[in-house]
Amino acid sequence: MEKLGLTKENWDQFVTWIWDFLPGLVSAIIIFLVGIWVINIFSKALRKFFQKKDYDETLEKFLYDLINIGLKILLVVLVVTQLGVQTSSLVAILGAAGLAIGLALQGSLSNFAGGVLILFFKPFKIGDYIEAQGISGTVKEISIFTTKLNTFGNQLAVIPNGKISNGNIINYSAEDQRRGKIEIGISYDSNIKEAKEIILDLINGQDKVIKDPAPEIYVSELGDSAVTLSLRFWALNDDFWGVHFYTIEEAKKRLESHGISIPFPQSDVHVYSKELK
């Protein structure tokens, strides 16, 4: 002990401190293990409770994560207190740590606030097809900090809630019906009235197209090489894309079968010759 720079009195004090500290350490370990076990049981029971109740899935996920994190923070406080740290000192430490962490994690706090706003105002819910931050997809999960979208290409997009809540959101599933717009160009030599009748007959002949309000078509532009016809129609969300793609393909076939051409951009080049003297 003398080689280590410890006197017998110092060694006795160290041993005494160990014996005094050991019960608290053992208690803290037991509290931690039992606490984790209780939290896991409570989390499973909470999840089953949510599954039995017809609550909003977004609210269920948010509350589950919030309660789970809160219980774990409370457990850490109990463990640290059991180790002998005074409550007043612990509060001061947590306050200082909270300030430092808050400054370091401003983005995360912004995302948390964004998650609360999404939960409160409900601009979308799980299962909705939305567009946010330039990304389109079906909402798969709304957590405390992020929202996960399943894109059209079956890719997982993770977007921070802070950016979503502060940006523009287009919710394509918010309404049962959706209005479509299809633009078709015909040549200047074609009969506009006949072309409009052909396209209207096509759209009105589809059962999945909503007839009230009725589809409408009009000339929207006189382009450089074509007269642009704009078709407007309504359909249910589930039927929209089927009607949209079928109408485009079938319109080309029917117009061409009636001798109405769909031109492509072209330029006329005029060549002038001048005799040299």
Do 133 and 185 share a structural domain? no
**Residue 26 lies in domain:** 8-104
Span 109-157, pLDDT tens digits:
778 788 888 887 888 988 899 999 999 999 998 887 889 999 988 999 9
State the Cα–Cα distance between residues 15 and 82, nearest whole angstrom: 20
Examine the pLDDT at 52 and tell me if it is beyond 90.
no
Residue 40 lies inside a defined structural domain of this protein: yes
Q: Where in 74-191 does DSSP place strands (E)?
A: 129-132, 135-142, 146-151, 156-160, 169-171, 177-186
Residue 37 lies inside a defined structural domain of this protein: yes
Do 74 and 140 share a structural domain? no
Do 184 and 161 share a structural domain? no
Residue 262 lies inside a defined structural domain of this protein: no
CATH code of residue 83:
1.10.287.1260
CATH code of residue 140:
2.30.30.60
Span 155-189, pLDDT tens digits:
999 999 888 988 899 999 989 999 999 999 999 98
Nearest to 93 by CA among 80, 78, 75: 80
* Domain count within the chain: 3
Q: How far is CA 115 from the centre of its chain?
A: 11
State the Cα–Cα distance between residues 25 and 22, nearest whole angstrom: 5
State the Cα–Cα distance between residues 213 and 233, nearest whole angstrom: 8
Which of 19-31 are b and which e, b meaning 16 or more Cβ less than 10 Å from the residue's Cβ?
eeeeeeeeebeeb
